[in-house]
Amino acid sequence: MKMAIRFGKIKFIIQAIFITIFVSSCDLFEYQPYDTPNKEGLSDINNLNIAKISKNDNENDTIRFVFTGDTQRCYDETADFVKDVNKHSNIDFVIHGGDITDFGMSKEYIWMNDILHDLKVPYVVLIGNHDVVGQGKDIYKAYFGALNFDFTFRKTRFICLNTNALEFDYATPVPDFDFMTSFLKDTAGVKQTIVVMHSPPLDDQFNNNVGLMFNYIIERYKGLLFCLNAHRHILSEIDYYNNGIIYYGCDDIAGRNYLLFTVIGNKYSYQVVKF
């Protein structure tokens, strides 16, 4: 059975198609899931947020920050997390310990960043092993910035390290000792240090061959308080090298809880906040 459609109708359909194409513009044209579309506001996110953190820097010696990680495919839970953190009025910033994506695809980075963008406080995101897969590390660099970074807030230095050694070859040092040792002498205006990483030592993902050197440098950081890690999807408090340096591990976001740290002078405490 043949059905004839009047030309007017076709004309309307063609017009509709062209309008759809132009209105929706380039966002819809995807070349490959690991390709990074140029999106406004999606570059150097970590440094922009560090600038916001620095704006609130003052002589006060109390810091309250949230540590979470492994948000992966849990978009709804992350949105709930953002709502819960926004309820608190005295949080200075949020640290995401990595695995912001599950497959390392650019759309996942965009979706998750759109959710985190609703936080009232600044946030920084470390790179996790899932974020590296495919060309994920290039997407991370394009959107968030350097794989290793640091910032100092109220005389406490936060050193954020890429520890996903299994994902990289020898062309990229993981952990980057040049970066790590650069803080040993440069301690002006710094009273204490907190080290943040995605994968903790002794994990499959970590380069355990250099674990001793890694620990050697960390032991020498000025006023080291503790280390933070994500990746293991379990709340933990482990002294990996039996030297009194505690690594606090956060649960994944699917566990619906996060760590809220309070640092006052050289004392600190934390609580597990359920949401």
Partner 1 sequence: MKKFCTLALFFILLFIYGNTKAESLHDRKLARMQRNWNNLIPKQSKVQFAGSMGMFSFGTGWYYGKKNQWETDLYLGFIPHLNGGEGHPTITIKETFTPFRLPVNDRLFFEPLTSSIYINKIFGQYFWSRLPEKYPDNYYFWAVNTRFNVSLGQAISFRLGDKLLGKDLSLFYEFNTNDLYVISAIGNKIIQLKDIVGLSLGIRCRLF
Positions touching partner 1 (CB under 8 A) are 2-5, 7, 10, 13-14, 17, 21, 24, 28-36, 73-76, 79, 102-103, 105, 107-108, 111, 115, 133-135, 138-139, 142, 166, 204
Rounded-to-integer distance, Cα 4 and Cα 23, Å: 30
CB 10, min distance to partner 1, A = 5
How far is Cα 91 from Cα 84, in angstroms, rounded to an integer? Answer: 12
**Edge-to-edge strands, sheet with 149-153:** 149-153, 156-161, 192-197, 224-229, 247-249, 236-238
By the 8 A CB rule, do 64 and 261 touch? yes
Between 31 and 242, CB nearer to partner 1? 31
Residue nearer to partner 1 on the CB measure, 20 or 62: 20
> Cβ 59 to partner 1, closest distance in Å?
40
Task: Give me the residue label for tokens 């999606």.
Answer: 42
Minimum CB distance to partner 1, residue 8 (Å): 10
CB of 70 or CB of 108, closer to partner 1: 108
In terms of CB distance, is 7 or 40 closer to partner 1?
7
Select from 131, 80, 87, 134 the least CA-distant residue to 110: 131
d(CA 8, CA 3): 15
For the CB of residue 79, give the shortest distance to partner 1 in the complex, in Å. Answer: 5
Least gap, CB of 34 to partner 1 (angstroms): 7
Closer residue to partner 1, CB minimum distance, 152 or 164: 164
Q: Which helix (H) or strand (E) holds 192?
A: strand 192-197
Question: Looking at residue 200, what DSSP letter applies?
Answer: P
Kindly state the smallest distance separating residue 196's Cβ from partner 1, in Å: 23
What is the secondary structure of 214-270 as a DSSP string? HHHHHHTSTTEEEEEE-SS-S-EEE-TTSSS-PEEEPPPGGG-EEEEEEEETTEEEE
Q: Which is nearer to partner 1, 23 or 188 (CB)?
A: 23
| Residue 115: how many other CB atoms lie within 10 Å | 19
